[in-house]
């Protein structure tokens, strides 16, 4: 691990305990460009760690300090996600750029194994539930789509880090056409979403974030039985 201190942090609220692990991609052309930005006082952004595509880990902010990675965000009623989380940036150029996927590309195995080891250490030091290991898009679905559909949450869960559905109960998800049921399940799981019964822009964005995390084969933000079944299963794992 390379120490690469960022000035962009403050104190966690008094008494606040770390309960979330939030994963990001950098969305910049190179890791160095991202490090420069995360250490630029004018940018006012940071993360606790950054992981290069070759697996090199940079430590930017001490874990007991509040890094500035999540911005305006929310989960299960918690609004100061920065105050309650550790943030990790994964180097990846992201969805910006030409075409639908921009320069977004798969996260190499060396990067994923480095993330696995870093996460295991973090989980040994803090009380973080599997369902509180989330992407930036989960806590800010209207603004963010990182780490995105190419991020291998299934692999992480197989290593004991985070949730992944089994998808083996055909009786689940029957009410997927009832948008208020889908919205209520998303809200109960933790997403910041209003129950309106209509598939509006907020619901599409939240469904897309949910799909990018838990059902990456189809991320169009539409409701379907598989999505609701996964939601119902994961809620059962609380
Ligand atoms: Zn992010």
Residue that terminates a domain, selected from 158, 188, 221: 158
Q: What is the DSSP string of the chain?
A: -EE---S-EEEPPTT----EEEEEE--SSSHHHHHHHHT-TTT----SEEE-TTS-EEE-S-TTEEE--S-S--BTTB--HHHHEEEEEE----S-SSSSSTT--PPPHHHHHHHHHHHHHHHHHS---GGGEEEHHHH-TTT---S-TTS-HHHHHHTTSS-------TTTTTTTT-HHHHHHHHHHHT------SS--HHHHHHHHHHHHHH-TT--S----HHHHHHHHHHHHT-
Nearest Cα neighbor of 226 from 183, 173, 162 is: 173
Of 52, 53, 63, 89, catalytic: 89
Q: How far apart are CA 149 and CA 209, in angstroms?
A: 9
Residues 135, 100 share a domain = yes
Å from CA of 104 to ligand 1 middle: 14
Name the domain count of the chain. 2
Residues 81, 16 share a domain = yes
pLDDT given for residue 98 in this prediction? 77
Q: Are 151 and 133 in contact (CB under 8 A)?
A: no
Query: Is there a domain that residue 166 lies in?
Result: no
Residues 126, 186 share a domain = no
Residues 144, 28 share a domain = yes
pLDDT given for residue 237 in this prediction? 64
Residues 95, 138 share a domain = yes
Residue that terminates a domain, selected from 158, 188, 216: 158
Does the annotation count 89 as an active-site position? Answer: yes
Residues 108, 194 share a domain = no
> Model confidence over 55-99: pLDDT tens digits?
999 999 999 999 999 999 999 999 999 999 999 999 999 998 777
Query: Is there a domain that residue 174 lies in?
Result: no
Q: Which residues crowd ion ligand 1, with CB under 5 Å? A: 24, 136, 146
Residue span of the structural domain in which 210 resides = 179-236
Residues 206, 136 share a domain = no
Å from CA of 118 to ligand 1 middle: 18
Query: Is there a domain that residue 146 lies in?
Result: yes
Residues 130, 58 share a domain = yes
Q: How far apart are CA 124 and CA 175, in angstroms?
A: 39
Query: Is there a domain that residue 121 lies in?
Result: yes
Query: Is there a domain that residue 189 lies in?
Result: yes
pLDDT given for residue 97 in this prediction? 79
pLDDT > 90? residue 236: no
Q: How far apart are CA 228 and CA 6, in angstroms?
A: 41
> Model confidence over 175-209: pLDDT tens digits?
999 999 999 999 999 999 999 999 999 999 999 99
Residues 99, 20 share a domain = yes
Å from CA of 81 to ligand 1 middle: 12
CATH of residue 205's domain is 1.10.101.10
CATH of residue 35's domain is 3.40.80.10
Å from CA of 182 to ligand 1 middle: 25
Residues 22, 127 share a domain = yes
> Model confidence over 104-153: pLDDT tens digits?
999 999 999 999 999 999 999 999 999 999 999 999 999 999 999 999 99
Query: Is there a domain that residue 144 lies in?
Result: yes
Å from CA of 70 to ligand 1 middle: 6
Q: How far apart are CA 199 and CA 117, in angstroms?
A: 39
Å from CA of 138 to ligand 1 middle: 10
Residues 94, 142 share a domain = yes
Residues 134, 22 share a domain = yes
């Amino acid at each position: 691990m390379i120490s690469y201190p960022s000035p962009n942090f403050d104190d966690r609220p008094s008494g606040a305990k770390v309960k979330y692990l939030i994963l990001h991609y950098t969305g910049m052309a190179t890791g160095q460009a991202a490090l420069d930005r995360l250490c630029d006082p004018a940018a006012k952004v940071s993360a606790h760690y950054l992981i290069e595509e070759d697996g090199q880990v940079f430590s930017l902010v001490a874990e007991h300090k509040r890094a500035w990675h999540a911005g305006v965000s929310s989960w299960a009623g918690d609004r100061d996600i920065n105050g309650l989380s550790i943030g990790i940036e994964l180097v990846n150029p992201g969805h910006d750029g030409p075409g639908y996927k921009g320069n977004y590309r798969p996260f190499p195995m060396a990067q994923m194994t480095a993330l696995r080891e870093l996460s295991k250490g973090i989980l040994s030091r803090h009380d973080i539930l599997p369902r509180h290991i989330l992407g930036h898009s989960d806590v800010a679905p209207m603004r963010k789509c990182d780490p995105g559909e190419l991020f291998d949450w299934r692999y992480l869960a197989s290593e004991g880090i985070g949730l992944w559905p089994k998808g083996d109960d055909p009786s689940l998800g029957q009410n997927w056409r009832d948008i208020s049921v889908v919205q209520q399940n998303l809200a109960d799981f933790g997403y910041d979403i209003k129950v309106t019964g209509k598939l509006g822009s907020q619901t599409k964005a939240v469904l897309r974030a949910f799909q990018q995390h838990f059902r990456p084969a189809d991320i169009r933000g539409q409701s379907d039985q598989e999505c609701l079944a996964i939601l119902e299963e994961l809620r059962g794992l609380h």
